[in-house]
Amino acid sequence: MADTSTVKMLEGKALTIREQLLRLCNHVPIHIGGDMSVCDVMTVIWQYAMKYDPQNPKMEERDRFILSKGHAAAVTSLNQALLGCYDMQDIFNEYATNYGRFGMHSCNLINPHVEVSTGSLGHGLPVAAGIAQALKLKGNTTSRVYVVMGDGEQAEGSIWEAALSAPQFKLGNLVGVIDRNRCSLMGYTEERMPMDDLAEKWRAFRWNVIEIDGHDMNQLIDTFDNLPDPTSDVPTLIICDTEKGHGVSFMANNPDWHMGNITEETLNKALAEVQDAYKAKWGEE
């Protein structure tokens, strides 16, 4: 069971990220629904699980992070800022500008903290599998490769080619994470392109599959604490049951909030909701 102080610390960081996401959404249009659904997962990866030095982003012993769910660039950048990769205000100043390091998709040509440029769905897992195999061939026995995917992109064939190859090459250093919010730009996934039983599909491809509540910090911490050793032979997939727009009542499970911009009045209402939820659990700080 996760330590209470660690849970509180990470939930506090997740609150900070949600607040900044909402403020950014007031500043420019962003993919707010999917950013909010994967916020807790991203917080645990970046603020707790990953071995990463903001001052040395190409450190050979680092863990690698690949964002296959390209529209979650904002929540990734904000987590990196909270870790110390850059100032939080930099994101607000540069987001979606011609000269900026931050935008709707991550680009490693202008941002050294981006491992691989992404955006086209389905590409992240094949790239991550290649990196994981390269690490094994180089004799790196400690680094992991984390790849965050959306559930909508599970319809891409390249996902399943990589899913088939990873166990064959014994990539136990590869950790896939699916943000299973069941909601895409076009509507609900089970109406557009049914995915279930998603866990059984991945198990049939010989992955170690773990299903958790993607908004339960205890479960997230325990899952990342108990991953198989990177030297193991079987890749791991964590399916996180999440809610699009989580934390804000009018965004929750609503395809209309796949992407958008909010007014000052809407911002204040949304901030109050996420802040009140934290206070209800942990009290006033």
Q: Which amino acid is at 275?
A: Q
Predicted confidence at residue 183, as pLDDT, reads 84
Domain boundaries, the chain: 4-282
Q: For domain 4-282, give the fold.
A: Rossmann fold (3.40.50)
Predicted confidence at residue 224, as pLDDT, reads 98
> Which two structure tokens, joined as six digits, stand for 145?
């490769």
C-alpha distances in Å from residue 97, one per residue of 50, 104, 146: 29, 11, 28
> Which two structure tokens, joined as six digits, stand for 188?
């609900």
| Angle formed at CA 109 by CA 53 and CA 74, multiple of 5 degrees | 65
Predicted TM-score (pTM) of this structure: 0.96
What are the backbone dihedrals phi and psi of residue 49, each rounded to the nearest 5 degrees, phi first? -85, -40
Predicted confidence at residue 110, as pLDDT, reads 92
- Cα 128 to its chain centre, rounded Å, is 14
Ranges of residues in the chain whose predicted pLDDT is under 70: 285
Predicted confidence at residue 191, as pLDDT, reads 82
